[in-house]
Amino acid sequence: MKIKEKIKNISITTLINLLFVCNFIFLFMLIFFSDALKADEILYKFKSPSFSGINTSSHYLTIENQESTRVKDIKEEIEAYQDELAREADNTTLARFIRNLESRIYAQLSRQMVEQLFGETPQTSGSLELEGNTIEYKVENELITLTITDETGGTTSITVPIGSFTF
Protein backbone atom coordinates (compact mmCIF):
# COMPACT_ATOMS: atom_id res chain seq x y z
CA MET A 1 0.00 0.00 0.00
CA LYS A 2 2.81 2.34 0.44
CA ILE A 3 3.36 2.54 -3.30
CA LYS A 4 -0.23 3.64 -3.91
CA GLU A 5 0.12 6.34 -1.27
CA LYS A 6 3.33 7.61 -2.79
CA ILE A 7 1.74 7.73 -6.25
CA LYS A 8 -1.21 9.75 -4.87
CA ASN A 9 1.20 12.25 -3.32
CA ILE A 10 3.04 12.90 -6.62
CA SER A 11 1.87 15.97 -8.40
CA ILE A 12 0.67 16.04 -11.98
CA THR A 13 3.56 18.18 -13.15
CA THR A 14 6.00 15.68 -11.76
CA LEU A 15 4.17 12.88 -13.63
CA ILE A 16 4.24 14.90 -16.85
CA ASN A 17 7.96 15.57 -16.41
CA LEU A 18 8.58 11.89 -15.72
CA LEU A 19 6.57 10.93 -18.80
CA PHE A 20 8.48 13.47 -20.87
CA VAL A 21 11.86 12.08 -19.72
CA CYS A 22 10.75 8.51 -20.43
CA ASN A 23 9.59 9.50 -23.93
CA PHE A 24 12.84 11.35 -24.52
CA ILE A 25 14.89 8.28 -23.49
CA PHE A 26 12.72 6.05 -25.65
CA LEU A 27 13.18 8.32 -28.70
CA PHE A 28 16.90 8.60 -28.06
CA MET A 29 17.20 4.81 -27.90
CA LEU A 30 15.05 4.44 -31.00
CA ILE A 31 17.23 6.84 -33.00
CA PHE A 32 20.51 5.50 -31.61
CA PHE A 33 19.71 1.84 -32.27
CA SER A 34 17.77 2.33 -35.50
CA ASP A 35 20.61 0.84 -37.61
CA ALA A 36 20.52 -2.30 -35.54
CA LEU A 37 16.78 -2.51 -35.94
CA LYS A 38 16.86 -2.59 -39.75
CA ALA A 39 15.98 -6.01 -41.12
CA ASP A 40 16.34 -7.62 -44.50
CA GLU A 41 15.00 -10.68 -46.18
CA ILE A 42 16.61 -13.85 -44.87
CA LEU A 43 18.32 -15.66 -47.72
CA TYR A 44 20.09 -18.95 -47.39
CA LYS A 45 22.87 -19.58 -49.88
CA PHE A 46 24.51 -22.97 -50.22
CA LYS A 47 28.26 -22.86 -49.82
CA SER A 48 28.81 -25.94 -51.94
CA PRO A 49 28.94 -25.19 -55.69
CA SER A 50 27.23 -28.52 -56.29
CA PHE A 51 24.03 -27.06 -54.84
CA SER A 52 24.33 -23.37 -55.66
CA GLY A 53 25.65 -23.69 -59.22
CA ILE A 54 28.19 -20.91 -58.68
CA ASN A 55 31.66 -21.94 -59.89
CA THR A 56 30.38 -25.47 -60.47
CA SER A 57 32.77 -26.36 -63.28
CA SER A 58 35.89 -25.38 -61.34
CA HIS A 59 34.52 -27.28 -58.33
CA TYR A 60 34.09 -30.42 -60.41
CA LEU A 61 37.58 -29.99 -61.93
CA THR A 62 39.07 -29.69 -58.46
CA ILE A 63 37.33 -32.88 -57.33
CA GLU A 64 38.47 -34.70 -60.49
CA ASN A 65 42.07 -33.54 -60.01
CA GLN A 66 42.06 -34.71 -56.41
CA GLU A 67 40.66 -38.11 -57.38
CA SER A 68 43.09 -38.62 -60.28
CA THR A 69 46.05 -37.56 -58.12
CA ARG A 70 44.99 -39.99 -55.41
CA VAL A 71 44.64 -42.85 -57.93
CA LYS A 72 48.01 -41.98 -59.50
CA ASP A 73 49.72 -41.92 -56.10
CA ILE A 74 48.23 -45.31 -55.20
CA LYS A 75 49.40 -46.84 -58.53
CA GLU A 76 52.90 -45.42 -58.06
CA GLU A 77 53.03 -46.78 -54.53
CA ILE A 78 51.96 -50.24 -55.72
CA GLU A 79 54.55 -50.19 -58.53
CA ALA A 80 57.28 -49.09 -56.11
CA TYR A 81 56.35 -51.91 -53.74
CA GLN A 82 56.37 -54.47 -56.59
CA ASP A 83 59.77 -53.19 -57.75
CA GLU A 84 61.07 -53.50 -54.19
CA LEU A 85 59.80 -57.09 -53.97
CA ALA A 86 61.43 -57.92 -57.33
CA ARG A 87 64.76 -56.42 -56.18
CA GLU A 88 64.59 -58.42 -52.96
CA ALA A 89 63.87 -61.60 -54.94
CA ASP A 90 66.86 -60.91 -57.25
CA ASN A 91 69.19 -60.37 -54.30
CA THR A 92 68.60 -63.65 -52.54
CA THR A 93 71.56 -66.01 -52.17
CA LEU A 94 69.92 -68.56 -54.47
CA ALA A 95 69.27 -66.00 -57.22
CA ARG A 96 72.89 -64.77 -57.09
CA PHE A 97 74.14 -68.35 -57.21
CA ILE A 98 71.98 -69.14 -60.26
CA ARG A 99 73.16 -65.97 -62.08
CA ASN A 100 76.78 -66.81 -61.33
CA LEU A 101 76.34 -70.43 -62.49
CA GLU A 102 74.62 -69.35 -65.73
CA SER A 103 77.41 -66.88 -66.40
CA ARG A 104 80.05 -69.55 -65.96
CA ILE A 105 78.17 -72.03 -68.16
CA TYR A 106 77.80 -69.44 -70.95
CA ALA A 107 81.49 -68.57 -70.62
CA GLN A 108 82.40 -72.27 -70.93
CA LEU A 109 80.16 -72.69 -74.01
CA SER A 110 81.70 -69.59 -75.54
CA ARG A 111 85.22 -70.85 -74.87
CA GLN A 112 84.37 -74.23 -76.47
CA MET A 113 83.00 -72.49 -79.56
CA VAL A 114 86.12 -70.31 -79.83
CA GLU A 115 88.28 -73.44 -79.45
CA GLN A 116 86.36 -75.11 -82.30
CA LEU A 117 86.81 -72.05 -84.51
CA PHE A 118 90.40 -71.08 -83.71
CA GLY A 119 91.94 -74.05 -81.85
CA GLU A 120 94.66 -76.45 -82.95
CA THR A 121 92.17 -78.38 -85.11
CA PRO A 122 89.68 -75.72 -86.27
CA GLN A 123 86.35 -76.84 -87.70
CA THR A 124 84.79 -75.22 -90.77
CA SER A 125 81.20 -75.50 -89.53
CA GLY A 126 79.10 -76.46 -86.55
CA SER A 127 75.96 -75.70 -84.56
CA LEU A 128 74.85 -75.29 -81.00
CA GLU A 129 71.36 -75.55 -79.49
CA LEU A 130 70.80 -73.15 -76.57
CA GLU A 131 67.43 -72.56 -74.86
CA GLY A 132 65.43 -73.09 -78.07
CA ASN A 133 67.81 -70.99 -80.18
CA THR A 134 70.12 -72.49 -82.79
CA ILE A 135 73.56 -71.00 -83.35
CA GLU A 136 75.28 -72.15 -86.56
CA TYR A 137 78.75 -71.11 -87.72
CA LYS A 138 80.69 -71.52 -90.98
CA VAL A 139 84.20 -70.56 -91.96
CA GLU A 140 84.48 -69.61 -95.68
CA ASN A 141 87.07 -67.50 -97.48
CA GLU A 142 88.63 -65.90 -94.42
CA LEU A 143 85.12 -65.03 -93.00
CA ILE A 144 83.23 -66.49 -90.06
CA THR A 145 79.45 -66.35 -90.45
CA LEU A 146 77.31 -66.85 -87.34
CA THR A 147 73.59 -67.44 -87.96
CA ILE A 148 71.33 -67.32 -84.91
CA THR A 149 67.81 -68.69 -85.34
CA ASP A 150 65.36 -67.98 -82.51
CA GLU A 151 62.34 -70.03 -81.42
CA THR A 152 59.96 -68.21 -83.77
CA GLY A 153 62.15 -68.75 -86.86
CA GLY A 154 63.67 -65.26 -86.99
CA THR A 155 67.32 -65.19 -88.00
CA THR A 156 70.26 -62.92 -87.30
CA SER A 157 73.52 -63.22 -89.24
CA ILE A 158 76.90 -61.90 -88.15
CA THR A 159 79.93 -61.97 -90.47
CA VAL A 160 83.42 -61.41 -89.03
CA PRO A 161 86.70 -61.43 -91.04
CA ILE A 162 89.27 -63.83 -89.61
CA GLY A 163 92.33 -61.89 -90.77
CA SER A 164 91.58 -58.91 -88.49
CA PHE A 165 92.07 -61.00 -85.32
CA THR A 166 95.63 -60.29 -84.38
CA PHE A 167 97.10 -60.09 -80.90
CB-count exposure of residue 85 (10 Å: 0-12, 13-18, 19+): exposed
pLDDT interval class at 84 (50, 70, 90):
very high
pLDDT interval class at 6 (50, 70, 90):
low
Tell me the range of 6-20, 36-50, 112-126 where mean pLDDT is highest: 112-126
pLDDT in tens, 34-57: 766 666 777 877 777 777 677 777
What is the reported pTM?
A: 0.42
* pLDDT of 72: 96
Give Cβ neighbours of residue 146 (< 8 Å, ≥ 6 apart). 135, 136, 137, 157, 158, 159, 160
pLDDT in tens, 152-162: 888 999 888 87
